[in-house]
Chain A
Amino acid sequence: MKFFDSHCHLDSMRYGAELPDVLERARRAGVSGLAIIGTRAADSAAAAELAAREPGLVAAAGIHPNDASEAEPSEWDQIVVLVESGRVAAVGETGLDWFRTTAQPEAQRDFFDRHIRLAQRAGLPLVIHTRDSTSDCLAMLREANARRPLAAILHSFTGTVAEAAEAVELGCHLGFAGMVTFRSAAALREVAKTVPLERLLIETDSPFLSPEPLRGQRNEPANVVHTATCLALTRGEPLADFVAATTANARRVYRMAGIP
């Protein structure tokens, strides 16, 4: 089986000298594809460099909504240059986060809009973070889609069944991370059951969100196997079919056709 971790933050700033071991453990676990997602200019550039030298890896460049107030104008310029250079496969992580107050809502909306327009201009998918903000994100996506088609991934999805349906109707892919494996997350598993298989992605969001039975440890892409197993069981689908479908979905949305 070939798994695809569709959203992780892998760089030497987070994993230090262990990074090669982390990648090796992922390969041994059968994780053949990884999308490394940037959150600032520095780690977006690092993600692009790593993706350029390791097979099966793609990168995304963006500024996380929680950093929208802090980012200097020059940092956004670096993201634009990176995207236009063709070295990344997606734009993000962007989105809206209404739970925390570290970034002003208006700054978040402004940055989300810039990322949307950049992704549309570059013809790349958009990687979206939502927290307490799914309906507002979907409203902005709907508006953007009316201008020009846009491929979007709602990562670490924790919205309702209705929001999942609306996102699917808008053409989005939905990524499910480790929290779907938690005993207490029955409601989220119910949501995951309703998402069409062709729109489902699995992810670790490493180094965050370690799945059961690894809660409390630093997460890494090899652990996507646990999330895949839980989701396949929840949905009543054979694991091999589920993994093949989610890997094909990730390769399609990250435009990896022709890349081994």
Chain B
Amino acid sequence: MSTESAMSAMPAEPLAHLVAVLQPSLAMYLADSGLGTYPGPDQIRLALADLVADHRSLIDRGTAILEEREVPVPKVFYPLSFTGLHDVDLRHFLPRIVAGLRRQTGELERIAAVADDASAAGLAAEALRSMPQHIDSLEQIATRLRAGLLAKQGPDGPGGSGSEPPAAPPAAL
């Protein structure tokens, strides 16, 4: 299941919709499976940690309100394709994450426009306020990477596939 298809089956309830939009993202998956274990520059790790902290806070607050209202909290699973992405250098994820944030922005704008649920509209508006900063931050990192201005860092140890390949042995998965 792709992120796109996950988004096509969104709950009608605006708050549940918001949780279902924010939860199954690639950034959330990377954090959930151990952001510190992926090779790549620390600047990406820090930017993603910021993004995930913001989204997690929104998801938690949205979930708490849904539970208060006794509305079912959507069960959201990550796309199967994410499970093949372990130990890839974080640099390779930047374009996908930014594209995902742009898709989320469209969904959040629709939720924010819902007039009859102030909680959902408020949380969506909050997410929309921070979204351009997160996109901008990741795009700036991508630009600096292209210009060779960021150090090639990552977890100690063997490194993962997708990092700049060492002379020998190569990274593999």
Q: Which of B7-15, B44-52, B62-70, B79-87 contacts A (4 or more CB under 8 A)?
A: B79-87
Cβ of A148: which chain B residues have Cβ within 8 Å of it?
none
Judged by DSSP, the binding face of B is: loop
Closest to B29 in A: A184
B36 adjacent to chain A (CB < 8 Å)? yes
Q: What is the bound-complex CA distance between A215 and B87, given in angstroms?
A: 11
Q: Is the CB of B172 within 8 A of A11?
A: no
Q: Which of B53-61, B104-112, B162-170 contacts A (4 or more CB under 8 A)?
A: B162-170
B83, B161, B172: residue with the most chain A Cβ atoms closer than 10 Å: B172
Q: Interface size for chain A: under 10, 10 to 19, 20 to 34, or 35 or more residues?
A: 35 or more
Q: Is the CB of B78 within 8 A of A39?
A: no
A182 adjacent to chain B (CB < 8 Å)? yes
Q: Is the CB of A40 within 8 A of B34?
A: no
- Write the nearest CB–CB distance from A153 to chain B, whole angstroms: 14
Cβ of A102: which chain B residues have Cβ within 8 Å of it?
162, 165
Which of A64, A182, A185, A218 is within 8 Å of B158, CB to CB? Answer: A218
Q: Interface size for chain B: under 10, 10 to 19, 20 to 34, or 35 or more residues?
A: 20 to 34
Which of B84, B155, B158, B170 is within 8 Å of A158, CB to CB? Answer: B84
Closest to A188 in B: B83
Interface residues of B in 144-173 (CB under 8 A from A): 155, 157-158, 160-162, 165, 168-173
B33 adjacent to chain A (CB < 8 Å)? yes
Cβ of B116: which chain A residues have Cβ within 8 Å of it?
none
Q: What is the bound-complex CA distance between A93 and B33, given in angstroms?
A: 25
Cβ of A188: which chain B residues have Cβ within 8 Å of it?
80, 83
- Write the nearest CB–CB distance from A190 to chain B, whole angstroms: 8
B37 adjacent to chain A (CB < 8 Å)? yes
Cβ of A186: which chain B residues have Cβ within 8 Å of it?
77
B92 adjacent to chain A (CB < 8 Å)? yes
List 29 A-B residue pairs with CB atoms under 8 Å apart, sorted by A's residue number. Answer: A13-B168, A14-B158, A43-B168, A43-B169, A66-B161, A66-B162, A66-B171, A67-B170, A99-B88, A100-B162, A131-B85, A156-B173, A158-B80, A158-B81, A179-B83, A179-B86, A182-B32, A182-B83, A184-B78, A184-B82, A187-B78, A187-B80, A187-B83, A188-B80, A205-B173, A207-B157, A209-B86, A209-B87, A216-B34
Q: Which 10 A-B pairs have the closest CB atoms?
A: A158-B84, A39-B172, A187-B80, A43-B169, A215-B34, A207-B158, A208-B87, A188-B83, A184-B32, A158-B83
Instruction: Write the residues of chain B forming the contact surface with A, with a CB cutoff of 8 angstroms.
Output: 1, 29, 32-34, 36-37, 77-88, 92, 155, 157-158, 160-162, 165, 168-173
